[in-house]
Structure 1
Amino acid sequence: MKTQVVPAPVPDSAAATPGTFQSLSAAERLARRGLRGLLALQAVRTVLRLGFAATAAMAAGRLVMGETVDPWLVAGMIGMLATACLAGFAAERVQASAENAVSTRLRALAGERLGKMPARQLQSLSTGALIVSMQRHPESIAALVVGHRAATAMMAAGPLLAAIALCFVSWQAALLVICLTPVMILFFALVGNAIRRRADAQERAFGRLAGQFADRVRTLPTILANHATASEEAKLGRRLEGYAGETIGLLRIAFANAGIIDFFASLSIAILAIFLGLGHLKLATIPGFSNLELWQSLFILMIAPEYFAPFRRFSEQYHAKAEGLAAAAALDRLLDAAPVTACPLPVLDRLRLTLPAHGLVAIVGPSGSGKSTLLRRLAGLEPGAMPAPGTRLLAAEEIAWVSTDAYVPEGTLAEAISWNGGALDRSRLEHAARAIGLLDDALLPGGLDARLDKGGANLSGGQRLRIAVARAQLSGRTVLADEPTAKLDRATAEAVRRMLIGISGARLVVVATHDRDLAAAADLVVDLTRDDTVEVAA
C-alpha cells in the first residue's frame, strides 16, 4: 500500500546537545588539591634554602675571620640543606603525580565526551587530530595548570621571602634587586606573545603531521599497490621538517628568555659584589653596603640568586603555558565541533511507521534516500524525528547492531562473538559460528580459539560482519543491520540471509539493504523514495 507521510513531532535537538567542553576549567578543578601540596612544599624549600644561606654565610664569615664556629651552626646548616633537598625532591614527586592525575582524568573526561557524540559526528573527526587530542593535549594542559601555576605563584612568594631576608641585613640591597624586577616582568610580557604564536604554529604543524600520518597508515595498501611509497615518504618528510622548524623556533625563544633572566641575575649580583667590595675596602661609602660584617656581605651575595631563581623557573615554564593554552583551545575545538548533519530528508522527519514485535523489516531505496539514517535513528545513534510517535521505541531497548564496522575486542573468536552477551555455552558459540561460516574460514585458523587483534585489525569487513551476525543471533535482542549482505560472496551472503531470517522468527530484525533476495523475504518492506510518499508493503 502507498502511504502519504504526515507530520510527526520533531524533538528539540538543542536540549540534547551537551554543554561546551572547557578543558582548562576542568583541569584547574582537578589540579587544586595537588597544587596546594606542591606550593606548600616549594614554600618550605624556599624558607629552608634561605635559612641555609644565613647559617652558611655566618659560618664562612667566622671561619675567614679566624673566629670560632659553633657546632650548632654547622649542624643547623647541614640539617637545613638536607631538609631543603628532601623538600625539593618531594615537590618534584608531587608535581609529577599531580600532572599525571590531571592528564589521566582529563583524558577520561574527553573520552566520555566522545562517547556522547552522535555516530556521524564522531566518524567525521580527523583520526590524526583525535590521536593528538587524546594523547598529547591532556599532558600539555596538566603541565600548564600544575607546573606553570606553581611557578607563577612562587614567582610572587619566592622573591618576597628573599627580599624580606635581605632587609634584615640591608634594606638598600633589597631595594636594588627589587628595582630590576619590573624590567624582567616587561620582558616576559614582550616575549609572551612571540611564544604563544610559536606554540600555536607548532600545534597546527603537529596536527597536520599526525593527520597525514594516520591517513597514510590507513591507505598503506593502496600506496604500496600504486608504488607511491617514495612520494608519500617525501610528503611526510616535509610535514616533519615543518613541525621540527616550529619546535626549534619555540625552543629558541624559550632559551633566549632564560638567558635574559640569567643576564639580569648576574648583573644584579655583580653590582652587589662591587658595592660590597668597595665598602669593605673603604674605597667608597655607600649606605647599606659599607661597615658590614663579612658574613652579612656573604649573606647578601648568597640570597641574591635565591631572589632571581623563581623568575628563572618561571621562564623555563613559560613555554608550557603557551603549549597548554594552545592544547586546551585545540581540544575544545575538537570536542565542541558543530554536529555533522545529514542531508535534509523531510520524508524521514514526517514518517509514521509501526514496527511489529517480531519479523523481518527491510528498508530499501536508492542510495542517499535515507536507509542508513533511518536505521541509526531507530538505534538512537542519530538525532531526528522518530518514526511512529507513541509506539515502541527501539532506542529504549537493548539492540544488536550488525555492520562492517561492528566492534570486535582483542582476544579469541569465541570472546568476540560472546562480547557483551554474558556467559554463553561453548556449544552454542560453535553452532552460531558454524552456521555463519566462521569455522570454515581459512583465514581464521583455530576455530573459536583463533586470535583476533585489537579492534579486529586482522579481520576483513565480511569477517567482522559475520561475527556481528553470530553475536546478534545469540544475544536475544532486537537486531538492526546496515547492509548485512553487501560486499559478500554469494555463499556467505546466503548464510547471512538464512541467519537473519531465522532470527526474525522470534525477534524483530530491521535491515537497510539493496539485497533484493533479502527484501523479498521480509514481512514488511519500507521503500523510501525522494518524493513525499513512502511505500510500506506487508
Structure 2
Amino acid sequence: MTRPSPRARSGRAALEPAALALARGVARAGLSRLHGLQVLRCVATLGQAVALARLAGALIETGGLDGLALGLAGACLLAGAGLGSLIETRSAALEAEVAVALIDAAEARLAAMPARAAADLPRGAVIAGLQRHPGALARLVVGHAAARRMMGLGPVLTAGAVAVVSWQAALALLLATPVMIVFFALVGGLIRDRATAQEAALGRLATQFADRVRTLPTILAAYGLPRETAKLDRRLQAYADGTMGVLAVAFLNAGVLDFFASLAIAILAVFLGLGHLGLAEIPGFAHLALWQSLLILLLAPEYFLPFRRYAELYHAKAEGEAAAEALAWVFSEEAETRPERGVVPAAGARGLVLPHAGSVADFDLPETGLVAVTGPSGAGKSTLLRVLASVEAPLAGAFRLPGPNLPATWVSLDTPIPAGTLAAAIADGTTATPEAVAAAAASLGLSDDPHWPGGLDAAVLAGAENLSGGQRVRVAVARLLLRPGTAFCDEPTAKLDPANAARVRQALACAARTRLVIVATHDPALAALADRRIGLRPTLSERQAA
C-alpha cells in the first residue's frame, strides 16, 4: 500500500483548522479502541441474528427447540449488551477528554496572550469557545467519526452475512446505498450553512449579553433597559431560529433514510414471501429454507442501522466544523506577529462606525478635561456618547477610555433619582461627607431653589415625579462632582434657564480639572469651554435631504 508523502500530509494539515487537528490527535488512540469494540458488537449482533433465525426456523418447522441456537442467541445478546454499555461509556469519556484538552489549550492561550490582544478578543468567541465549542468539536472527532467508520464497515459485514444465504438479497441491499450517499451530499451543504449561522448567532448573543451585564449600571442610569432587553430578545430569537433550522434538516435527513430503509426491507419481505408461497420464481429468493429467509429479514434492518446512526450525528459534523473555525483564535499566532487589530494605542477611537449615524473621524481623548461632541441634530452625538459609555456597541471600530477603570456617571434629562431627600439623591452611590454634599448642592443652586423649598431636606417623591427635567440634570451634575470616574453628559444645559445653565457649565468645567467629562451639546457657550471638540457631520440621508 502506498503511503501519502510527507508533503501531501502537511498540505492537508495546513488546510485543517488547528483546533480540529488537536482534537483528532487527542482522540486518535481512544478512537481506534472504540472502533474495535464497535466491530465486536457488530459481530455479536450478526451471531445473534443467525442464532435467532435458526431457533425460530426450527421451532416453526419441527416444533422442536434448538438448544445450541438458544445458547448462542443468549450469549450474543449478553455480549452485545455489555459491549454496547462499554462503547457508550468509553465514547463519553473520550469526548470529555477531548473537550478538556481544548479548554486547557484555550486557557493556556489566554494566559500567554498579551493583555491588549486578550481584551480585543470578541467576548462572545471567548465565552462560546470555553463553553460550547469544545463539546461540539469533541462530538465531531469521537461520536461522528466512530459513526462514519461504522457506516463504511457495518453494512459490508452485514451484506457479507446475507450473501452467504443469498447474494441476490445482498445485492438488493447494496443497491439502496447510493441513494443514501447522494442524499447525504445534498443535505451536507445546507446543514453546514445553517450550523455556521447558528454558531455566529451564539457568538453575537454571548458578546451582547456579556457587554450588557458589564454595563448594566450605566444602562439603568440611562433608562436603556427596555431597549437593551429588546435587542437581547432579537439575538436570542435568531439563535433559536438557527438551532431549529439545523434540527429541521437533521430530522428531514433521518426521515428520508428511514423511508428508503423501510422500502428496501418491504421489497425483500415481498420477494421472500412470494418465493415461499411458490407464486414467483425470483432468483435468490425462491427455494430458501425458512431460517434463511428469517435471517435476511433480521439482518436487513442491521444493514441500514449505521446509516441511521450517522444521520442522527450528521448535524454534529456541521456543528463541529463550525466550532473548529470559531476556535481559530486559540491557535492563531497573528497577535504575536502583527499589531493588534481593533486596539487603540492611545486613549480615543479609531474607525468607529455608529448605528444609524455612520462613520466618525478618529479622535484622541485626554486623561482629564472637557470634551464637547457637537454637530447638527441627528448627527449621532447621543449615540457616540452611549458607545463611549459602553451602553451601545458600534458597528465597527474600537475605542479606549483613559485613566483607571472607575464607575462612570451618566447625566441626562431622564437621569434616575431615588426617592428620599435632596441630600440622599445627590449622595446616591458615593461616600461623600455631608459637607461635600452641601457644597455640591450650593454650586448648582439646589440648596436655595425657590421652586424646590426645603434645602437639602427637600423631599424627592418616588420616580422623582415632583422634579422637572432641569432639576434632574442639576442633581445629576451635583452627584457627578462627588464621583471620580469619567462623566458622560447628554445635553446637560438643554432645558435650563440662563442662570442655571451657567451654573452647570461652571460645574462641568470644574469637574473636568480632575477627570474626563464628555458632553454632547448644542450649547455654544458650553462648547466654547471645552478643551477639545469632536465635530460630527450630518448623516448621509440628512445631507441628501438638504
> Which TM bucket (shorter chain)?
0.5 to 0.7
Q: Give the distance between the partners of 2:89 and 2:195, measured in 1 at CA.
A: 27
Measured against aligned partners, the alpha-carbon deviations of 1:142-191 in whole angstroms (never above 9, x if no partner) come to: 10001111011000110010011001100000000001101110110000
Q: Give the distance between the partners of 1:21 and 1:185, measured in 2 at CA.
A: 26
Q: 1:305-324, aligned counterparts within 5 Å?
A: 305-324=301-320
Amino acid at match of 1:260: V
Q: Confirm or deny that 1:54 pairs with 2:50.
A: yes
Give the total of aligned pairs.
345
Among 27, 34, 43, the alignment partner of 1:31 is 27
Aligned residues of 2:169 and 2:284 also touching (Cα < 8 A): yes
Give the secondary-structure state (helix, strand or coil) at the position aligned to 1:49.
helix
| Structure 1 position 126, deviation (Å) | 1.8
Give the secondary-structure state (helix, strand or coil) at the position aligned to 1:290.
coil
Amino acid at match of 1:78: G
Q: 1:91-490, aligned counterparts within 5 Å?
A: 91-333=87-329, 335-336=331-332, 338-339=334-335, 340=340, 367=366, 487=484
Give the TM-score normalised by structure 2: 0.60
Q: Give the distance between the partners of 1:405 and 1:78, measured in 2 at CA.
A: 70
> Identity percentage over the alignment?
51
Aligned residues of 2:144 and 2:314 also touching (Cα < 8 A): yes
Q: Give the distance between the partners of 2:287 and 2:17, measured in 1 at CA.
A: 62
| Structure 1 position 226, deviation (Å) | 2.3
Q: Confirm or deny that 1:82 pairs with 2:78.
A: yes
**For residues 257 and 280 of structure 1, do their structure 2 counterparts lie closer, same or farther at Cα, with a shift above 3 Å needed?**
same
Give the secondary-structure state (helix, strand or coil) at the position aligned to 1:168.
helix
Q: Give the distance between the partners of 1:92 and 1:177, measured in 2 at CA.
A: 28
**For residues 181 and 21 of structure 1, do their structure 2 counterparts lie closer, same or farther at Cα, with a shift above 3 Å needed?**
closer
Say what the alpha-carbon RMSD is for the aligned residues: 2.9
**For residues 325 and 71 of structure 1, do their structure 2 counterparts lie closer, same or farther at Cα, with a shift above 3 Å needed?**
same
Amino acid at match of 2:102: L
Q: Give the distance between the partners of 2:115 and 2:210, measured in 1 at CA.
A: 20
**For residues 343 and 55 of structure 1, do their structure 2 counterparts lie closer, same or farther at Cα, with a shift above 3 Å needed?**
closer
| Structure 1 position 66, deviation (Å) | 2.6
| Structure 1 position 367, deviation (Å) | 4.7
Q: Using the TM superposition, name which of 219-228 and 274-283 deviates more.
A: 219-228
Aligned residues of 2:45 and 2:76 also touching (Cα < 8 A): yes
Aligned residues of 2:109 and 2:330 also touching (Cα < 8 A): no
Runs of 4+ in 1 over 3 A off after TM superposition: 341-345, 403-406
Aligned residues of 1:38 and 1:94 also touching (Cα < 8 A): yes
| Structure 1 position 272, deviation (Å) | 0.2
Measured against aligned partners, the alpha-carbon deviations of 1:7-44 in whole angstroms (never above 9, x if no partner) come to: xxxxxxxxxxxxx9710001000001211121111111
**For residues 44 and 404 of structure 1, do their structure 2 counterparts lie closer, same or farther at Cα, with a shift above 3 Å needed?**
farther
Aligned twin of 1:467: none
Measured against aligned partners, the alpha-carbon deviations of 1:214-251 in whole angstroms (never above 9, x if no partner) come to: 11111111122223222211111111111111110110
Measured against aligned partners, the alpha-carbon deviations of 1:386-421 in whole angstroms (never above 9, x if no partner) come to: xxxxxxxxxxxxxxxxx9679xxxxxxxxxxxxxxx
Aligned residues of 1:205 and 1:243 also touching (Cα < 8 A): yes
Aligned twin of 1:457: none
Aligned residues of 1:209 and 1:240 also touching (Cα < 8 A): yes
Q: Give the distance between the partners of 1:180 and 1:300, measured in 2 at CA.
A: 15
Aligned twin of 1:413: none
**Unaligned 5+ runs, structure 2:** 1-15, 347-364, 368-402, 407-429, 432-482, 486-512, 515-546
Aligned residues of 1:21 and 1:336 also touching (Cα < 8 A): no
Aligned residues of 2:17 and 2:324 also touching (Cα < 8 A): no
Aligned residues of 1:61 and 1:298 also touching (Cα < 8 A): yes
Q: Give the distance between the partners of 1:201 and 1:314, measured in 2 at CA.
A: 22
Aligned residues of 2:105 and 2:330 also touching (Cα < 8 A): no
Amino acid at match of 1:162: T
**For residues 71 and 343 of structure 1, do their structure 2 counterparts lie closer, same or farther at Cα, with a shift above 3 Å needed?**
closer
With CA pairs under 8 Å and 6+ residues apart, which has the higher RCO, 1 or 2?
Answer: 1
| Structure 1 position 69, deviation (Å) | 1.8
**For residues 67 and 33 of structure 1, do their structure 2 counterparts lie closer, same or farther at Cα, with a shift above 3 Å needed?**
same
**For residues 116 and 212 of structure 1, do their structure 2 counterparts lie closer, same or farther at Cα, with a shift above 3 Å needed?**
same
